[in-house]
Structure 1
């Protein structure tokens, strides 16, 4: 009888049943939710679709800031998922030894085989800790000295390209050139071999676009992580992303042959990361596996280029938008050069003694962080209390760096404005360490970006060279419309167009 009735259901009824069921399920979730009092967009109470659509718009960092201005320190952005803006909560969520593991969103950034997870995507804190210890010495401050020649090579080449652009009087996409620079630097540091993007400023293999596409995939699929296992096998294995993988394999193979060639015995050059990992692999293949080698080299390329290029673009854009700060920085560098306290090119150690340069870098990281979504973590079995609310186990909580960096209680009432001097004031007030605890551009705690020091190395060395050698002029359309970015986890500048002039050369207008 029941089967007969089911067979007699009309097609219209069959179409209505699924959405009605979803609505009922969402309403039940709302009724049973112990945190019904936490504010947020109405639709975010019932479905993750609201979050998906808001990210799709491409400016979630701005949306997220607006949500906290409207609702306060804790905001619901999806069922059982909350965005936080609370200094004490940052230590609770991201502090060393805390049991807040990365949320399922990160699964979409790795293959379904967890043994191939990168340091960024690995959800298992124990495995992550073991892996991080394997590689941490390669990214330490002491290791940076060995990487400086690689950065110098690419800095010199970018300056050469900028001189050519200046002579041609062309308007160019400055973000693109800075990404070419960051990509070639990480190629040198990782493989002792540039990719060659700085030769012509061209990406013939479509590598930039392929990395962007993979980031788009992971950003959206991570919102519904169960789909990842179904879709991952369908992802293309060729094209730009395949080029990076195959390039990595070729570099490893060539380096293995080179190390075994007796004619190369005794030859020494700057130590690149791949050689260091490869030697560790050959010394103990069980401890440092071939998968470790491939995954780490690929991670350097995929993450190291975008994050650094975005921050370099932030530095240069804000210096040009606020020319007074450009001149203050130039005066600091010129004075140091006259006094003989900086070289040409500036060394990383010398750059640390340029206080305004360091303030500019920190302010650029604050104003335009490379990542623009909340860094979600899963609340442990004990639950936790955040901003006066008890959050039950299994909920997801996270802080967006863009939200944290607009917190007026930390950064002052002018937190929305570009003002590098604030960092010098923090130091004078003895608040430097306090403020750094809510500076989340590189993450926080045990999951702080392992490549942070390399990124700071590139910024600290390139920016003084550009400021001392060149003037720039923003494109008129950019001046009128303002900078536009697209947020797909990385908040990438889209219209950073301008002209380059050799220093002292007369500008247009």
Structure 2
């Protein structure tokens, strides 16, 4: 009798409705928080906004319409209140990272995407010395060399075209950021500044054959698809089979980005006896947890990849934005030029940090 009822057309229609309705009914604590339909019932609303590349805009618009607290998924409350930042992100508040971060795991969990508090503490202690003031100071020489290469390339373009040239500054800031992070995290720059091209070596595993891929494009695709899959992490194993190329190409980008880290760490470890330098990878290789254990090869690769992801597009986007706003405001250029001329005795060289650190 019960089976007969379950397999009626009405029951089959009711099942998907109950699938979305029951979690909504159980969420008594947040049920009264407003939400754009159907975000209170399903993750599909946020997934669709991400797929369209407008999550930031959609969430901002919903907050303007519905207030400081908005549900953008059945179990996800978005908060637009500066006073809530220490309550949510403060140390020891009890909040853990959600399953959203599972979408960003490739080689293995790193400092960014681990969801286990104890594991995060272990990783943080292992890499903490990497970012001490002393270590950062030792990294300056590598940053300086890449900045000099950027200036050299811009000067070359200007001379070749007769004292000035058109260029896409974001491309060059991308090359700069990738080469600096590559220099620090993997022991050598990718060579993008020197070649003026977006290319990097990729390996599926340390012993797999080498190939090349556009690293900047790979990083951007990886970020877009992972942020989208993160809305429904259970689709991750199936995403590469979706007919939408956004997902298949995005998953390929995730694999290629991991392959870039695998290739560069292999190159560094294979030549460890020939390389004597202090950089991020060297510090990570020295790092030990509370048991005195060092990072294994996979974990070392995952943490080096974390540095590449964290430092590349943020640096390039910020640098390009600063240049844009300076150029859009000529009075700023004049004031900046005056300050730099006073602080830098030789205008033909890239200044060292100590020369500009105290500028307004």
Q: Structure 2 length normalisation: TM-score?
A: 0.81
Residues 211-245 of structure 1: CA deviation (Å, up to 9, x unaligned): 22322331111111223355599955997425413
1:217–1:72 Cα change, 3 Å:
same
Of stretches 184-193 and 271-280 in structure 1, the one that deviates more from structure 2 is: 271-280
Q: Is the 8 A contact 1:39 1:71 kept in 2?
A: yes
Aligned to 1:22: 16
The size of the alignment, in residue pairs, is: 333
Shift, 1:78, TM fit = 1.3
Q: Is the 8 A contact 1:248 1:298 kept in 2?
A: no
User: Does 1:346 find its partner at 2:341?
Assistant: no
For the residue of structure 1 that corresponds to 2:271, the secondary structure is helix
Shift, 1:181, TM fit = 0.3
Aligned to 1:443: none
Q: Is the 8 A contact 2:40 2:74 kept in 1?
A: yes
Please, which runs of 5 or more residues in structure 1 have no aligned partner? 260-267, 356-509
Shift, 1:121, TM fit = 0.3
- Counterparts of 1:237 and 1:208, CA distance in 2: 10
Of stretches 220-229 and 73-82 in structure 1, the one that deviates more from structure 2 is: 220-229
Aligned to 1:172: 167
Aligned to 1:401: none
Larger relative contact order (CA 8 Å, sep ≥ 6): 1
Shift, 1:157, TM fit = 0.6
Q: Structure 1 length normalisation: TM-score?
A: 0.59
Q: Is the 8 A contact 2:129 2:287 kept in 1?
A: no
1:279–1:87 Cα change, 3 Å:
closer
Shift, 1:41, TM fit = 1.3
Aligned to 1:137: 129
Aligned to 1:193: 188
Shift, 1:110, TM fit = 0.9
Q: Is the 8 A contact 2:47 2:228 kept in 1?
A: yes
Of residues 217, 223, 231, the one that matches 1:215 is 223
1:61–1:326 Cα change, 3 Å:
farther
Q: Is the 8 A contact 1:76 1:83 kept in 2?
A: yes
Residues 313-338 of structure 1: CA deviation (Å, up to 9, x unaligned): 22122222333333332332223336
Residues 183-209 of structure 1: CA deviation (Å, up to 9, x unaligned): 001111123311100112212322222
Bigger fraction of residues in strand: 1
For the residue of structure 1 that corresponds to 2:39, the secondary structure is helix
Aligned to 1:310: 317
Aligned to 1:247: 263
- Counterparts of 1:257 and 1:219, CA distance in 2: 39
- Counterparts of 1:287 and 1:193, CA distance in 2: 22
Alignment of 1:41-60 (within 5 A): 41-60=36-55
User: Does 1:118 find its partner at 2:123?
Assistant: no
Bigger fraction of residues in helix: 2
Alignment of 1:139-288 (within 5 A): 139-167=131-159, 168=161, 170-204=165-199, 205-228=213-236, 235-236=251-252, 240-241=256-257, 243-258=259-274, 270-280=277-287, 286-288=293-295
Aligned to 1:105: 100
Shift, 1:172, TM fit = 2.5
Q: CA RMSD in A?
A: 3.2
User: Does 1:78 find its partner at 2:66?
Assistant: no
